[in-house]
Amino acid sequence: MAYTVGDLVAELLPALGVRTAFGIVSVHNIPMLDALSQRNAVRYVMARGEMGAAHMADAYARVSGSLGVVFTSTGPGAANAVPGLVEARFAGSPVLHITGQTATRHIDRDMGTVHDVPGQTAMLAAVCKHALRVRSAQEALGVLSAACAAALTPPMGPVSVEIPIDIQRAEVARPDWSAFALSLPPPLPPEPAALAAAIAMLQGARRPMLWLGNGAKGAGRAALRLLDLGFGAVTSWNGRGIIAEDDPRTLGGLHGNGAPEVQAFHAGCDAMIVVGSRLRGHETQDFSIRLPTPLIHVDVDAAANGRTYAGALFIQGDAALTLDALADALGPVPAGFHAELASLKTRATAAYAATLGPYESFPATLRAVMPADALWVRDVTISNSSWGNRIMPVLGPRDAVHPVGAAIGPGLPLGIGAALGAPGRKAIAMVGDGGFALNMSEIFTAVQEQAELVIMVMNDAGYGVIRHIQDYAAGRRFYHDLRGPDLMELAKLAGLPGMRVSNVEDFGPVLARAFATPGPVLVEIDMVSIGEHPPYAPYDKARA
């Protein structure tokens, strides 16, 4: 039997360690997915939309630490995946997007063939780290290998590969998979002169802090060495759990945004090392939060130098290698800083929880009933933008997934991808009713795949976050009320258990029951009955 490029794609994925892929079968990817179906080496998850499939592949990559893969058709199918690829780019997720393309004789000629979209490569290049096209059967393995290597090379990100339908069917020599390996660059050592300058800056520090971002997810052990010397830590919202947040030496995601006590504490610190973080405006109140000085920035990406906050020093290098080198050279910080930091954490967490109105107990209650290794997935709903990002403790570097790009809607498919990326563990996806509506059809994917997922819908009958932003920015509310389905009836229709929480006292018991139930569960939090969620900073203040 002839061996084709479609067969090559199907065998490449398991050769790379890929065990799960996501997508929708369509006319322009049938040769690849047919070959995948005949080998039974990769689990193929049939999403209900390409956007959901791309978000699933993103979350799968984040929690597994391996390559996420999404298949789409060309044209409209590839376009539908763009929101998920955008989010993967924001999050730095290694995602391989394999899309079809019209037959080579039609490409870029605007001939009106099925799914023929001129400029598709440029569209994908605009949202991905790279966008490549296979132009002959002979170069298929080389192009796909280059794409995977690019996706997995820091700073990681999504890469799209177009394979025209005639090339998918073309014969090609079968590779020797036993000799196949990706060529990935080794971790980049820190630049010696910059490292020496950083050591000199930090030698006398008495109250030094680390700010750990996504680029430091593999540097937890090295970061702990500095904490053992007396450093304290905070994290970006995409770096949570690098230091387990039950450790009193880290403030976790309570890094100053919405926490005046932490901002005041920063003013008394005498150094901060920012590792693998953009210091995003979304997290720093449009770069207005003052951070300790001197500010030393460590990143593998040279373009990170001065991108947001101006620092006293930039070190280009791998996060773990750089932090280990600093720990090797520095001595202990004078005693007392950790006790002060732990006291601040207790006070600031309680003060923040007190701003949540009737939801004050939710973060601690949820953490208490969740399995210790459960995955904490969220959408951009008011509950996440207030307490989910900040004070719901995260215990592992790959335990938390949220839309880094701040889009609403990804929460449910992110939850499915996370659950499938960590077999044997539970996941919970906290979504708002507005965001849930955008990818509601993926509930049927969760049921079909029997994902170990609690879908917790914070139902305030509208766009709760937008209401508060409108109050702040416009002084009136408009276009925010949503009529949605009866969620318990939807659960019955989809074939999964449904549970409703209508008062604060039932929150813990119902969630505990949901986590104990096998497979997917839909839990509705009736916020209309419980009470409106208060606005969060900066929308809790009068507009200047």
List the chain domain ranges: 5-174, 192-347, 361-530
Q: How far, in Å, are 99, 391, 500 from residue 533 at the CA level?
A: 42, 16, 18
Q: Do residues 198 and 313 lie in contact, with contact meaning Cβ atoms separated by under 8 Å? A: yes
In this chain, the answer to whether the domains covering 5-174 and 192-347 adopt an identical fold is yes
Give the residue ranges of DSSP H helices in 272-401: 319-329, 337-353, 362-369, 382-383
Name the amino acid, one letter, at 45.
V
- Residue 542: its pLDDT value, please? 63
141: Cα separation from own chain's centroid: 29
Q: What gap in Å lies between CA 184 and CA 437, rounded to an integer? A: 40
| pLDDT per residue rounded down to tens, the chain (544 residues) | 899 999 999 999 999 999 999 999 999 999 999 999 999 999 999 999 999 999 999 999 999 999 999 999 999 999 999 999 999 999 999 999 999 998 999 888 887 778 888 889 999 999 999 999 999 999 999 999 999 999 999 999 999 999 999 999 999 999 999 999 999 999 999 999 999 999 999 999 999 999 999 999 999 999 999 999 999 999 999 999 999 999 999 999 999 888 999 999 999 999 999 999 999 998 998 899 999 999 999 999 999 999 999 999 999 999 999 999 999 999 999 999 999 999 999 999 999 999 999 999 999 999 999 999 999 999 999 999 999 999 999 999 999 999 999 999 999 999 999 999 999 999 999 999 999 999 999 999 999 999 999 999 999 999 888 898 898 889 999 998 889 999 999 999 999 999 999 999 999 999 999 999 999 999 999 999 999 999 888 888 765 5
Q: What gap in Å lies between CA 89 and CA 444, rounded to an integer? A: 27
- Residue 230: its pLDDT value, please? 97
Name the amino acid, one letter, at 406.
A
Domain 5-174 has CATH 3.40.50.970: yes
Cα-based torsion angle of the residue sequence 391, 236, 436, 98 in order, rounded to the nearest 10 degrees = -150
Residue 234 host element (H or E): strand 232-235
Name the amino acid, one letter, at 248.
P
DSSP result, 175-219: P-GGG-----PPPPPPPHHHHHHHHHHHTT-SSEEEEE-GGGTT-
- Residue 112: its pLDDT value, please? 74
Domain 192-347 has CATH 3.40.50.1220: yes
- Residue 377: its pLDDT value, please? 98
Q: With b meaning 16 or more CB within 10 Å and e meaning fewer, what string describes 316-327?
A: bbbbbbbbbbbb
Name the amino acid, one letter, at 301.
D
Rounded to the nearest 10 degrees, what angle do helices 192-202 and 319-329 cross at?
50
What is the bridge-based pairing of β-strands 375-378 and 427-432?
parallel
Going by C-beta distance under 8 Å and a sequence separation of 6 or more, which residues neighbour residue 381? 388, 408, 411, 430, 431, 432, 434, 435, 458, 464, 465
Q: Could you tell me the fold of the domain covering 361-530?
A: Rossmann fold (3.40.50)
And the tokens for 57?
């592949």
**Closest to 192 in 3D by CA, of 329, 289, 284, 11:** 329
* pTM, two decimal places: 0.96
- Residue 443: its pLDDT value, please? 98
Q: What gap in Å lies between CA 475 and CA 467, rounded to an integer? A: 10
Name the amino acid, one letter, at 47.
A
Q: What gap in Å lies between CA 77 and CA 81, rounded to an integer? A: 7
